[in-house]
Amino acid sequence: MTASTTERIALRVHASDRRVARFAAAAVGLTLTEAAIPLPLPGLKPGLANIVTLLVVILYGWRMAVWVTLLRVVAGSLLLSTFLTPTFVLSLVGAAAALLTLALSQRLYPVLVGAVGLSVLAAFAHVGAQMLVVDLWLMPGVSLTRLAPLFLAAAWITGLVNGLVAVRLLNQTHGYRAADRTLSYTASAPARPLV
Amino acid sequence: MRFTTGSYRPGPAAKPSQYGLRWGDALVLVLGLLAIIGLARHGAEGARDEVLIRQAGRVYAEASLRLNRIIDVPGPLGVTRVEIRDGRVRVLADPSPLKLCVRQGWLAPGETALCLPNRVSVQRGAAAYDSLNY
């Protein structure tokens, strides 16, 4: 049986695919925005895109956050022309470590730890993994012990601020999310073909 | 730009406590702060805890002052013996005729002992690489 030429090959787009794309686009936008902010030390960044990761983990789970983060890191690096450079590797490793931490500490949410705690933990993991890569691969032999407190303090502050932003956004979007959840269940059954 | 469209119906409002702060958040923040302070204090001490031994301009060994050990550095004249003990460092023995670096005794932080005939230098409190030049 050969496939007839009239039969169209359709790429089915699930509602969750659109959601991933939407969140990834927001994260890429934040990445580009913060790349334009001048900062005193290379590596010190507010990490605004991590707000998106945090929201996705809390709202939809870490599996979806993996997609969003991966798209953000790759697309962001392509736009900033750092793809496959050490910067990209650092960004990827930091994001992966943060995600892993979020996936593990998510069990504590929301009873023991709120969005702020998750955010700070993820920020620490992010910076810690990056320092490990710098220490082992990029600049072996350089003592980072003096810089470590500086970077961790930065992670503490940005983690706190990002977490508070996430709490605010969660409160604002709570109603819409509840509606969105019921909608996506009903709307996902007849997936619309793309092209 | 609106993130919400007409197809969304506003659902139930969030309860005030639903997404707010938890005790764990405060715990994470306090523990994190303590870790940073501890690391900063440790780093301030740790930076001076390094011993850098060079032979003929090259880094021969990099050691911590916290570990007692004796390092033998071979040079053109013979073996220069460096001793690290109780957080201090000195040149124990050297084949040079004047033995200036041996007479220098225990090195103060930041001090360097030069055993020029044997082309050995012992520096207390230095990192192996300059990150700017690296």
Express each pLDDT in B78-129 by its tens digit. 999 999 887 789 999 999 888 898 999 898 877 889 989 999 999 887 544 4
- Comparing A66 with B13, the larger pLDDT belongs to A66
Is the pLDDT at A65 greater than 50, yes or no?
yes
On chain A, the residues whose CB falls within 8 A of the CB of B23 are 112
Predicted confidence at residue A120, as pLDDT, reads 96
Predicted confidence at residue B5, as pLDDT, reads 43
* A34 Cβ neighbours under 8 A, 6+ residues apart: A45, A46, A47, A48, A49
Q: Report strand pairing: B79-85 vs B69-74.
A: antiparallel
DSSP single-letter state for residue A106: G
Rounded distance between C-alpha atoms, residue A192 and residue B7, angstroms: 17
**What are the tokens at A105?**
């500490």
Nearest Cα of chain A lies from the Cα of B16 at a distance, in angstroms, of 8
Do A148 and B43 count as a contact with CB atoms less than 8 A apart?
yes
Rounded distance between C-alpha atoms, residue B96 and residue B104, angstroms: 13
Q: What are phi and psi of B120, to 5 degrees?
A: -120, 140
Confidence of residue A24 (pLDDT cuts 50, 70, 90): very high
pLDDT, tens only, A122-178:
999 999 999 999 888 887 756 676 778 889 999 999 999 999 999 988 887 775 655
Chain A interface, Cβ < 8 Å to B = 108, 110-117, 120-121, 124, 139, 141-143, 145-146, 148-149, 152-153, 156, 159-160, 163, 167, 170-171, 174-180, 182-183
Rounded to two decimals, what is the model's pTM? 0.67
The alpha-helical segments, DSSP class H, found in chain A are: 15-35, 49-60, 62-79, 86-105, 115-133, 148-187
Q: Report strand pairing: B120-124 vs B112-115.
A: antiparallel
Rounded distance between C-alpha atoms, residue A123 and residue A126, angstroms: 5
Counting Cβ atoms within 10 Å, is residue A21 exposed (0-12), middle (13-18) or buried (19+)?
middle
Is the pLDDT at A192 greater than 70, yes or no?
no
- Find the length of chain A: 195
Do B11 and A174 count as a contact with CB atoms less than 8 A apart?
yes
Do B39 and A114 count as a contact with CB atoms less than 8 A apart?
no
What's at A172, amino acid-wise? Q
Q: Which string of DSSP letters, residue by residue, matches B82-132?
A: EEEETTEEEEEE--SSS-HHHHT-SPPTT-EEEETTTTEEEEES--S--TT
Q: What are phi and psi of A146, to 5 degrees?
A: -80, -30
Predicted confidence at residue A189, as pLDDT, reads 44
Rounded distance between C-alpha atoms, residue B80 and residue B113, angstroms: 12
Q: What is the dihedral of CA A82, A86, A88, A91, to 10 degrees?
A: -140
What's at A26, amino acid-wise? A
Helix (H, G, I), strand (E, B) or coil at B54: strand
Predicted confidence at residue A102, as pLDDT, reads 94
Chain A touched by B46 (CB under 8 Å): yes
Chain A touched by B62 (CB under 8 Å): yes
* A152 Cβ neighbours under 8 A, 6+ residues apart: A124, A127, A128, B32, B35, B36, B39
Q: Token pair 């060079």 is at which residue? A: B54
On chain B, the residues whose CB falls within 8 A of the CB of A115 are 19
pLDDT, tens only, A39-59:
877 768 888 999 999 999 998
Please give the residue of chain B at the shortest CA–CA distance from A59. B19
Confidence of residue A12 (pLDDT cuts 50, 70, 90): confident
